[in-house]
Amino acid sequence: MAMNRRRFVKAAGAAATLGYSGITFSQANTLRLGLMTVKTGPLASGGIDMERALIQYLKEKNYTLAGRKVELFVGDSAGIPAQARTKIQELVERDRIHIMIGPLAAAEALAADDYIRQAQLLTLSVAAAEDLTQRRPNPWFTRGTATSAQCAHPMADYAFKEMKMRRMVTIADDFAYGHEMSAGFQRVFEELGGKIVQKMFPPLTVPDYGTYLAQLKSNVDGIFLGFAGANGFRYLRQFNEYGLMKKVTPVGGMTALDEAVLRNMGDEALGIVTSCWYSAEIENAVNKRFVANFRVDWKYDPGFYAAATYTEAAVLEAALNQIKGRIEDKQGFMKAVRGLKNVETCRGPVSFDQYGNVVGNNYIRKVERKDGRLVNRVIKTYPNVSQFWTYKPEDFLKNPVYSRDYPPAKNLES
């Protein structure tokens, strides 16, 4: 009931802002857009940002994309995969959405994979799970953000070549996203000649990293942090507490030091280098407007999740423009998305590969203080990074998917 009421209020609000148009146009003409996000539970921070940024995009376009009015339906999965599947079904069967942006987490996308195939639901996702655009590509699934390892590959390149690191430790959350990120980092780093001498996978919900910090090897150059959500934040604080900051240099994956986390951090974050497809500091016209407006509304910088839906909305609009708004032509829409080239978005120009995954800039960022707040300043841009890094897609796909044990770590020291 609460859901219905909330939705009613939202719809009423939308109708009021749209004036007459929402009512007189036949329903068939409205584009019904679903956002599958997380608004309660531990992942809510990112999920709420996803909704805020998407609404901002739609407002900027006056709720009209490619000449069609857009009506937004929002589902909340609380971050629970089974619930995500149910809510997606609800969005499709009750709200009759044409297209879905989301879900947020890899586990949610995997749980909904079969349903997305069966319902032929057009999906613009944020979830990183590698194989959804690799060995088991879902024909209705595309991703405008990055696979788990897409940003870890260039991080390894930068750590080896520019930061001159040779011996490193990896630590990552113990679930698919952490495994894949850590594996991608390890592969590139070791192929360049570096050594990963220790790998750690603490459980996703460990409140205290003391045990893992106590065992950390200190005779290494650096540590790669493959954390998501609040975990990177908590790990770094405890890392600092153990006096490790001066001995071991941390570098991070795309969600280790997100803007959402930075705004609650202190000087311990200064100087840390991370890799992501986005930073609120990127200098391009779209992003400047996005960040400025977002700051006016919410008083903080958009991060990974906000930029994700803002990017996906731009992808949606670009693909719609190509097929003149005819979203009912599902095959045509998917073909249009996969063929997109150099769409201007807040993260810079994006293109798509034939597997439905994005090819775009990857930014190496360094935490600095600016106007009193911490920001991820871009120090190097790797242009047009694909999910396959510098490998040939065919060769890349012959290997097993990245995991806890693949590629095997040959240089571990006990």
Partner 1 sequence: MRIANLTHGALFMLGAYIGASTLKTVPNLWLAALITGAIVAVLGGIFERLVLRKLSGNVLGQVLVTLGVSFIIADLCLVVWGGDPIPVPTPEFLRQPVFIAGLAFPAYRLAVVVIAVIAAVGLYVLIERTRLGAMIRAGVDDMEMARACGIPVSRLFTTVFCLGAALAGAAGVVGGPIMSAYPGLDADMLPLALIVVILGGVGSLGGAFIGAFITGFVYTFGVAMLPDLAYVILFLPMILVIAFRPRGLFGKFAA
- Please report how close the Cβ of residue 251 comes to partner 1 at its closest, in angstroms: 20
The residue within the footprint of partner 1, chosen from 237, 326, 330, 338 (CB under 8 A), is: 237
Backbone angle region of 124, left / alpha / beta, with phi > 0 → left and psi within -120 to 50 → alpha: beta
Q: Output 215 or 411, the one with its CB closest to partner 1.
A: 215
What are the start-end ranges of the E strands in 52-175? 64-65, 68-76, 99-101, 122-125, 141-143, 167-172
* Per CB under 8 A, 266 contacts partner 1: yes
The DSSP symbol for 409 reads P
Residues whose CB is less than 8 angstroms from the CB of residue 41 and which lie 6 or more positions away in sequence, other chains included? 78, 79, 80
* Per CB under 8 A, 18 contacts partner 1: no
* Per CB under 8 A, 405 contacts partner 1: no
* Per CB under 8 A, 86 contacts partner 1: no
Number of residues that bind partner 1 (CB under 8 A): 38
The residue within the footprint of partner 1, chosen from 32, 33, 46, 319 (CB under 8 A), is: 46
- Please report how close the Cβ of residue 171 comes to partner 1 at its closest, in angstroms: 11
* Per CB under 8 A, 174 contacts partner 1: yes
Pick from 250, 276, 299, 274: which is nearest to 366 by CA? 274
* Per CB under 8 A, 248 contacts partner 1: no
* Per CB under 8 A, 212 contacts partner 1: yes
The residue within the footprint of partner 1, chosen from 31, 33, 35, 43 (CB under 8 A), is: 43
Q: Is 119 exposed, middle or buried (0-12, 13-18, 19+ CB in 10 A)?
A: middle
* Per CB under 8 A, 193 contacts partner 1: no
Instruction: Let me know: does 38 contact 88? Beta carbons within 8 Å.
Output: no
* Per CB under 8 A, 263 contacts partner 1: yes
Site residues for partner 1, 216-235, by CB under 8 A, read 230, 233-234
Q: How many residues does the chain have?
A: 414
The residue within the footprint of partner 1, chosen from 114, 208, 297, 413 (CB under 8 A), is: 208
* Per CB under 8 A, 6 contacts partner 1: no
**Alpha carbon distance 218, 215 (integer Å):** 9
Which listed range, 176-184, 236-244, 284-292, 334-342, lies at the site for partner 1 (CB under 8 A)? 236-244
Which listed range, 16-24, 100-108, 256-264, 274-282, lies at the site for partner 1 (CB under 8 A)? 256-264
Distances (CA, A) of 278 to 113, 208, 355: 26, 29, 21
Pick from 18, 100, 96: which is nearest to 64 by CA? 18
* Per CB under 8 A, 271 contacts partner 1: no
* Per CB under 8 A, 201 contacts partner 1: yes
Q: Output 135 or 234, the one with its CB closest to partner 1.
A: 234
Distances (CA, A) of 48 to 12, 42, 74, 97, 302: 21, 11, 11, 20, 11
Token pair of 409, please? 């770590």
* Per CB under 8 A, 40 contacts partner 1: yes
The residue within the footprint of partner 1, chosen from 18, 44, 192, 378 (CB under 8 A), is: 44
Cβ neighbour number for residue 211 with a 10 Å cutoff = 10
Is 18 in a helix, a strand, or coil?
helix
- Please report how close the Cβ of residue 201 comes to partner 1 at its closest, in angstroms: 7
**What does the binding site for partner 1 look like in residue numbers (CB under 8 A)?**
40-48, 174, 200-203, 205-208, 210-212, 214-215, 230, 233-234, 237-238, 241-244, 260-261, 263-266
